[in-house]
Amino acid sequence: PPPSTTSYKIASIPADGIGPEVISAGIRVLETLAETYGTFTFDFTHFDWSSERYLQTGRYIPDGGLEELQRFDAILFGAVGDQRVPDHISLWGLRLAICQPFQQYANVRPTRVLKGVTSPLAACQHTEANRQKLDWVIVRENSEGEYAGQGGRSHVGQPWETATEVSIFTRHAVERIMRFAFEVARSRPRKKLTMVSKSNAQRNGMVLWDEVHKIVAADYPDVETDKMLVDAMTCRMTLSPESIDTIVATNLHADILSDLAAALAGSIGIAPTSNLDPTRQRPSMFEPIHGSAWDIAGKGVANPVGTFWTAAEMVKWLGQEEAADLLMLAVESVLDRGVKTRDLAGTARTDEVTASVCDEIRRIG
Ligand code: ATP
Ligand code: MG
């Protein structure tokens, strides 16, 4: 009998700066992957939600937009940011306006040094074994914490003006992200989780994190776990990367640690992020970690690898693990041959990297 074909409905939101360039590269690679595989297809719908649209209409997402997104299997997101719009408006207007109602409470960032990429860490250079010393997954609480948006300002403009930025930590949200992180740790060969907090200085929310960590750890006796203060964690990430596997941290802490992680892995142009609703009741959203990078927008030199890795994470979430592995194999073999963009000290353009990855998928697929 002919193999059955699954069709995945994907919403693409390229948005600003290099977003459209890297998303169209990502779609080319995903279509090549589906053709090569033959057992699934992608059905893309494009949404022009962007800062340009905001400047014209005063809205990032039109009426009914979120309801429309709801019917997709996944969302592929580019980048949002424009110097004519304050960053907190664009972030809350588009990205968080999707993450929050869709309850994408787990933000996941895999980090490793891909073949052909040089880490700035001496310990991770020169040999294949060294390269593999850095292999992490950072799990970030994505629904509350320091980015809950609570607080306010009083006595505006006065010397005694006061601004409060209130962090919200609920047992419900801390426990669900902790369980999710233990599940991620359990699914990996080393079964090891480091919980990051700052409970020496912040004595309410961070102590709750510590307590919940201890309670949830009891349900995962097969996962080795420890806890670190966030400041000490930055040292450990740079000095003994091999001692780390899975990390769980708050919205703010993990935001910072994951940029550090991306830099240690060689470039912010290569790393992906998944914003997951682990209950799978609503679509999850996948995006490269880099921003809109207007300085290189429209020049055809943006590194598309962050979007390729993002695409691989999306394909994995959709249940096509083998295809995701094939995509990453192709990406690494192309990088290893030296077909790289400027940010990785190469000379290739976005299109050349994209075409090489497509050829490689067809060759090894
Ligand atoms: P945003 O305000 O949306 O965060 P940004 O301009 O701060 O955008 P980032 O993505 O944070 O951009 O990146 C900082 C710099 O890193 C960019 O200005 C760009 O030079 C470089 N960069 C980022 N992403 C890429 C990429 N995919 N390929 C090549 N260079 C990149
Ligand atoms: Mg930025």
Q: In this predicted model, what pLDDT tens digit does every residue of 261-313 receive, in sequence order?
A: 999 999 889 999 999 999 999 999 999 999 999 999 999 999 999 999 999 99
pLDDT at residue 201, rounded to an integer: 86
Measure the N-to-C terminal CA separation of the chain; round to a whole number of Å: 21
pLDDT at residue 148, rounded to an integer: 86
pLDDT at residue 91, rounded to an integer: 87
pLDDT at residue 3, rounded to an integer: 58
Q: Which atom of ligand 1 is nearest to the CA of 81?
A: 3
Q: Is the CB of 291 inside a 6 Å radius of any atom of ligand 1?
A: yes
pLDDT at residue 1, rounded to an integer: 45
Q: Is the CB of 116 inside a 6 Å radius of any atom of ligand 1?
A: no
The parts of the chain modelled with pLDDT lower than 50 are: 1
In the reported structure, the alpha carbon of residue 269 is separated from the centroid of ligand 1 by a whole-number distance in angstroms of 7
Stated pTM of the model = 0.94
Mode of pairing for the β-strands spanning 192-197 and 246-249 = parallel
Structure confidence by residue, pLDDT tens digits, 79-115: 999 999 998 899 889 988 999 999 999 999 999 999 9
In the reported structure, the alpha carbon of residue 145 is separated from the centroid of ligand 1 by a whole-number distance in angstroms of 26
Q: Is the CB of 145 inside a 6 Å radius of any atom of ligand 1?
A: no
